[in-house]
Structure 1
Amino acid sequence: MLISKWLVAFVAVYGGLGGVLFDAVIPATARQHQGNPAWPPHAKFHNGQTMMLGVLNMVLALVVLFALPPTLPTLLVAAALAEIYFASMLLAPLFPGTAWSDPEFADLNPHPLGIPIQKLLSLLATGVVLVAVALAVVPR
């Protein structure tokens, strides 16, 4: 279960710090989010809300992983906490009028395999969590 624990921890940290780094700190990507003068204050509010959700999920997942006894139920709770950020990102396009990037930045954002980079990274993070859970659940 140790490998599963560290895989979940990695995804939790990526979800917690990745959003803050990409949306508010790294200049090339922050200019598309918190640093975007075209975004109204309320859009920036919701971006801040999303970043803080990622940070809080990270903290809770790490507390569950490293402060509680290592059991399958605690691993599953931590996995769910780490995954919530990425699941919400993958589900966001269900709402009308949403897009993976604003039109003025569409050409700047990579699309490996024809997939928007945010979607691809969210799918990869989800895959890592699923592998972690499978390693912990499937008897060897």
Structure 2
Amino acid sequence: MSPAFTPGKSLLLLVNLITTIGPFLADWNETHIHNPTWPPHARYHNGQTMSMGLFIGLITFYALFITIPSTPSPQQQLTHLTWVLVLQTMIYVSSLSGILYPGALWMDPEFGDGRPQLYGFPVVVGVAWVGWWVERGRLVGEGKRKRV
């Protein structure tokens, strides 16, 4: 059985926590959910985004740490690990793509003209990729040792 917490999995767990909790910390305030100028449909989409982060966080936590009844091979673990990376990358890349839609802004003008997503989200994706790469290296090494 592979160790629960390795350096690679720890980095992916950090991204997982940001994905799960971050949207609620960033959006449950007067700039988003409690913004009186937001129409109901905007609140719907914000809620959708927060729930998506929660669900992706739960799914990727499961894939990283919940063991399969039989001991998974390093290749099976690598498949799970790669799906974690795909899901974690997908949510941040899709969030970054939001600026490409007509009339989109990084922030509502009443709260400034910053771009926190532009700077923060690529860092989170980078941490996920580093975690995947480190854990992949451990799994590949484990697979080679088992074949010898």
Q: Name the TM-score, length of structure 1 as normaliser.
A: 0.83
Q: Which residue does the alignment assign to 1:27? A: none
Shift of 1:38: 0.2
Q: Deviations over 1:40-82 (max 9, x none)?
A: 0000000000000000000000000011347211111112222
Amino acid of the residue matched to residue 127 of structure 1? Answer: G
Counterpart-to-counterpart distance in 2, 1:100 and 1:52: 20
Counterpart-to-counterpart distance in 2, 1:84 and 1:51: 14
Shift of 1:132: 1.4
Shift of 1:137: 3.7
Q: Deviations over 1:105-135 (max 9, x none)?
A: 115x5xxxxxx22221101101101111222
User: Does 1:7 find its partner at 2:11?
Assistant: yes
Aligned mate of 1:84, from 55, 66, 90: 90
Counterpart-to-counterpart distance in 2, 1:7 and 1:87: 18
Structure 2 portions without partners, runs of 5+: 142-148
RMSD over aligned Cα, in angstroms? 1.9
Amino acid of the residue matched to residue 7 of structure 1? Answer: L
Q: Deviations over 1:65-101 (max 9, x none)?
A: 0113472111111122222221111111121111110
User: Does 1:122 find its partner at 2:121?
Assistant: yes
Whether the 8 Å CA contact 1:23–1:32 is kept in 2: the answer is yes
Q: Name the TM-score, length of structure 2 as normaliser.
A: 0.78
Amino acid of the residue matched to residue 13 of structure 1? Answer: L
Q: How does 1:1-140 map to 2 (within 5 A)?
A: 2-24=6-28, 30-68=29-67, 69=72, 71-106=77-112, 109=114, 116-138=115-137
Whether the 8 Å CA contact 1:65–1:75 is kept in 2: the answer is yes
Q: Residue 15 of structure 2: SS of its match in structure 1?
A: helix
Counterpart-to-counterpart distance in 2, 1:130 and 1:20: 24
